[in-house]
A and B are shown apart, each in its own frame.
Chain A
Amino acid sequence: MRGFLTLFFKEVLRFWKVSLQTVLAPLISTLLYLLVFSHVMADHAEVYPGVSYAAFLVPGLAMMSMLQNAFANSSSSLVQSKVTGNLVFVLLTPLSHWEFYWAYVLAAVVRGVLVGSVVVLTAWFFFPIPGKAPLWIMVFALLATIMSGSLGVLAGIWAEKFDQMAAWQNFIVLPLTFLSGAFYSIHSLPSFWNALSRFNPFFYVIDGFRYGFLGGSDVSPWESLLIVGSACLALSWTTLALLRSGWRLRT
């Protein structure tokens, strides 16, 4: 247990030591999105009745930054350790693949939730939003960051160079987060794009997370929970199996 806790704390300490880059920078960029979009879209029709566009946007943007930062934490730590070679310090230890996996994923959860909390709290000063179902907020925050942190571990195992990691970030994570209903309701999309969005697990975490704040969503939070939970299980199982095999880590 101590080995796992050490790796977990080390991973938390690693991002905390550069918190300007890992916490403050995402906060600033998310707030800029919020200020610009809420201003531009202020005169447009309400997405949900009685809910301002800014109130609609805050949970979506907060979740988007949580997803991106949880992914960035585990993936960048792993790929950096692989490229510089210091992953050897972890590989030489008796840590099991379970301990390895959960230490990286839970550190990603900490960073994701921290960034999301700071975004929501800061945004609340400008655009007070309700928190109608706090339990749903917590459940989706946790599942989303576990899912994204797992995806980051998976990408970190696979990638052997920084440009390979950038490809994951730019061609997978960024499109999935931007095309997930963070800025719009999928009901406003043409039927093809609406149907396509339903294959994006990031849509369900954003929708379920938004339900926790606003009490309204595009699909039922239970449906989102089922899909996000299944995605978490599938990703965890795949990543654990790869870690156990030593693929791309132990030659």
Chain B
Amino acid sequence: MTAAIEIHGADKHFGTVHALRSVDLTVEAGDFFGLLGPNGAGKTTLINLLAGLSVPDAGTLKVMGFDVARDYQQARRNLGVVPQELVFDPFFTVREALEIQSGYFGLARNDDWIDDILHNLQLADKAHANMRTLSGGMKRRVLIAQALVHRPPVIVLDEPTAGVDVELRQSLWKFIQRLNREGHTILLTTHYLEEAESLCRRVAILKQGQIVALDTTQHLLQSRALGSLEDVFVAIMRDGGIKARA
């Protein structure tokens, strides 16, 4: 079976900063995978390489078997990315933004799916509101909706719940879990480690551009005999990495 994400030897510098150091990572199709690490560890850089927003200095990255450089069109059709930055186009309404995003992926009649996303992200009553008028949490929901609009098999969520209230967080995770059950692969980065613990089957921890832990969430908890993923994370940051099992 083709892996959802395959990364081999991904290396990236920004000037003198070595942001990623020969990262190898495989995420199986259908997995709910957590990519964790402190600020500046390289999580967003890795996602940007995967999405084609950055170009690696070395290494290969594939989405559903498609090389992100050579077969970029197929790779991007298979990938939906929720960016970390709260960005929006102030010229358009929520619905227009989603229709436009659909169109970029060549989808003509996507109204049913757009309605479904709007409903599940509690955006239905804001469909005709201009993006400028939305609160931060609402804008975050639209970002998520835009990433899902072409039904990508692989969904990357870069800190999707930052600045989002508890109610929406819960409904968002229900929706994402539903997508995961339906076969979508989820790659999540978050600083809310309790979320990662409850949602992610496997976890990788990045530190200074290197993967220092890679295992199932359950094994990580057992290996350190600690009560929570947060404790494991703190221990790894303090002591260094542990060998990956998978």
Report A's interface with B, CB cutoff 8 A: 1-3, 5-7, 9-10, 13-14, 17-18, 81, 84-86, 88-96, 246, 250-251
Contacts and interface: CB of A to CB of B under 8 A. Distances in A.
B53 A93 contact: no
Contact of B103 (A3, A18, A251): A3
Nearest to B45: A251
B122 interface: no
A190 to B, nearest CB: 47
B106 interface: yes
Nearest to A8: B103
B104 interface: yes
Given A2-B106, A86-B88, A86-B89, A96 B73 contact: yes
Given A91-B53, A92-B51, A17 B103 contact: no
A92 B52 contact: yes
9 contacts: A2-B103, A2-B106, A81-B89, A85-B85, A89-B104, A89-B146, A94-B106, A251-B48, A251-B54
Contacts of A2: 103, 106-108
B87 interface: yes
B86 to A, nearest CB: 8
Contacts of B79: 92
B87 A94 contact: no
A92 B76 contact: yes
A85 B87 contact: yes
A246 to B, nearest CB: 6
A86 B72 CA distance: 20
B22 interface: no
Contacts of A81: 89
Nearest to B77: A94
Interface residues of B, number: 33
B98 to A, nearest CB: 11
Closest 8 CB pairs of A and B: A6-B103, A85-B87, A94-B73, A93-B104, A2-B106, A94-B76, A86-B89, A86-B87
Interface in B45-104: 48, 51-55, 72-74, 76-77, 79, 81, 83, 85, 87-92, 97, 100-104
Interface string B96-134: 010011111111100000000000000000000000000
B10 to A, nearest CB: 14
Contact of A13 (B72, B83, B85, B91): B91
Contact of A84 (B87, B102, B103): B87
Given A88-B83, A88-B87, A6 B100 contact: yes
A95 B104 contact: yes
A84 B88 CA distance: 8
A92 B156 CA distance: 12
A153 B108 CA distance: 27
A103 B108 CA distance: 18
A250 B146 CA distance: 20
Nearest to A7: B104
Contacts of A95: 104
Contacts of B97: 89
A91 B91 contact: no
Nearest to A13: B91
Which of B81, B90, B103 gathers most chain A CB within 10 Å? B103
A86 B101 CA distance: 12
A224 B14 CA distance: 46
A14 B85 contact: no
Contacts of A13: 91-92
Contacts of B52: 91-92, 250
A251 B97 CA distance: 25
A7 to B, nearest CB: 7
B89 A89 contact: yes
A222 to B, nearest CB: 41
Contacts of B146: 89
Nearest to A96: B73
A95 B103 CA distance: 10
Which of B51, B87, B108 gathers most chain A CB within 10 Å? B87
